[in-house]
Structure 1
């Protein structure tokens, strides 16, 4: 083997070692994806086509075809859960976005204590949803809740409102709790986006006579569009899959007033032990999330093209 062949051999060996090393570093991520993401999705899809309950769980169930989907689509509770999920998700996204944007604009300014206040708000986001649920269940308790006490003292109500245990107000209660928990997430993402905007544009607009409202509409919103699209997509998925907060506060009640799609799937699978129909509901959730992801990708492609 001459010198040129030796050099070529060493280069090929080095490339091969680099390729092996790169893929070895990727192996844990691929393994995690296969075990904890892909396998549960595929198993749930398979489960949705089987008739499985406690009587045949150990044997793997019986193939049922589309029977589970026919059963849940004939169940009125599915449509009530879909409506509750839509109302809950829409209200959370709109209110969290408006308040989060307002707080981001506020904390972008420089004033005494801004860093402390920003950190204090972020503490809310760090709380587990279960803790938030227990806290708001106590705040909104019908007889001894802090909210009813305050509203009574200021004269806004005469009698205590059963926020958590009434069909009329239960969905409002869990929505309010989720909004309070989610506002810091919106604030920090929007604050990060605002920090990247060039201040020269605002100074130029101010010289041209533009007030703060015009600068917001003509500069801030257009430049923040990519950040807003990402945030709304993440917020939509996070709000749509909320389960633990509702489980702690209302348990899907009263009279299924707060039963959303995730809780409906839980109810079928772990309360009624109808794993096949529960898997079918989870399959519908998966389809809805995929549709949302496709819409998001289309919007991002359009934004990049513009």
Structure 2
């Protein structure tokens, strides 16, 4: 019996699971080119100083401050390093402290008033100097003096000017028949005094940043608006202010972070007094940690951490707002 030859079977082979195997092998992926070792070492060499700086001056201090706030540190345990762990007990102490509510109120008022006036005055001066008149650069440089002076010099100068007996402010008020004011020794005026001094110090920063932002606005927009009949106020409100929003946002954020932690001005002028009338979280933290014979390191660190959290929250809000504006 003859056997007929069958044609060769070209069907794809099946895998044990019953599925047909691919007839052709998958194309090989292109190999990712590797950087030379010299470039990798160069990248790490550039990153190392920044990493060390962040670890030594940011990460480690934050860790130590958090550790201080979670333990019962005394002078002896601070040196020996055997403080017992207390958890959130230090935070409970500062919340129950009668100084907490006034310090929180003073911190909010001090920060909000300073930010509003620093930004408003800085913006007005930036628009004024943007006109490029004669002596504009000279006057703008003179306005930078408060920002360039050491804080101890600025605070000492304001302490002398606002002195109740020999201060120049009361002397000028006396020439127009106004009674002298106890700027630094009255509970009603001490917070106002440090706010005035801090506004004077912070205006130059706002002036510089906002003036640089104004220079990036095309002059053609103002010319087109003027041809359409827009007056100075309309040009400011419809062109200048909207286009300055990104610069204004970063200016206010940096001003907020700086103002939250202002310590030098308040401590030199009033030391948080009288009767805690100008105490903020920054001065209260220092008083708890270093202002007593028996320092309370834990509660002082807890107050400082509240300032860190507040600054972090506002920073995250700023980032979220910027992302929304970029997407829109």
Are 1:274 and 2:296 counterparts? yes
Q: Report the Cα distance in structure 1 between the residues aligned to 2:117 and 2:302, rounded to whole angstroms.
A: 31
Q: 1:55: Cα distance to partner? A: 3.8
- TM-score w.r.t. length of structure 1: 0.93
Are 1:247 and 2:267 counterparts? yes
Q: Out of 33, 41, 47, which is 2:62 matched to? A: 41
Q: Which runs of 5+ in 1 are unaligned?
A: 1-10
Q: Report the Cα distance in structure 2 between the residues aligned to 1:274 and 1:212, rounded to whole angstroms.
A: 56
Q: Report the Cα distance in structure 1 between the residues aligned to 2:38 and 2:127, rounded to whole angstroms.
A: 51
Task: List aligned pairs for 1:114-263, cutoff 5 A.
Answer: 114-155=136-177, 157-158=178-179, 160-263=180-283
Question: Is this contact kept in 2: 1:226–1:303, CA < 8 A?
Answer: no
| Greater Rg over alpha carbons, structure | 2
Are 1:95 and 2:131 counterparts? no
- The aligned counterpart of 2:74 is 53
Could you give the per-residue CA deviations for residues 47-99 of structure 1, whole angstroms, max 9, x where no partner exists? 11100122422232111111101111101211111110111111100011111
Q: Report the Cα distance in structure 1 between the residues aligned to 2:326 and 2:153, rounded to whole angstroms.
A: 40
Question: Is this contact kept in 2: 1:108–1:191, CA < 8 A?
Answer: yes
Question: Is this contact kept in 2: 1:148–1:161, CA < 8 A?
Answer: yes
Q: Which runs of 5+ in 2 are unaligned?
A: 1-32
Q: 1:192: Cα distance to partner? A: 0.3
2:230 is paired with a residue of what secondary structure? coil
Q: 1:274: Cα distance to partner? A: 0.5
Could you give the per-residue CA deviations for residues 159-182 of structure 1, whole angstroms, max 9, x where no partner exists? x21101110100000000000011
- TM-score w.r.t. length of structure 2: 0.87
Q: Of Structure 1 and Structure 2, which has the larger fraction of its residues in helix?
A: 1
CA RMSD in angstroms, aligned pairs only: 1.3
- The aligned counterpart of 1:8 is none
Q: Report the Cα distance in structure 1 between the residues aligned to 2:321 and 2:174, rounded to whole angstroms.
A: 47
Q: Which gives a bigger RCO, structure 1 or 2 (Cα 8 Å, sep 6+)? A: 1
Q: Report the Cα distance in structure 1 between the residues aligned to 2:261 and 2:211, rounded to whole angstroms.
A: 25
Q: What is the number of residues matched between the two proteins? A: 294
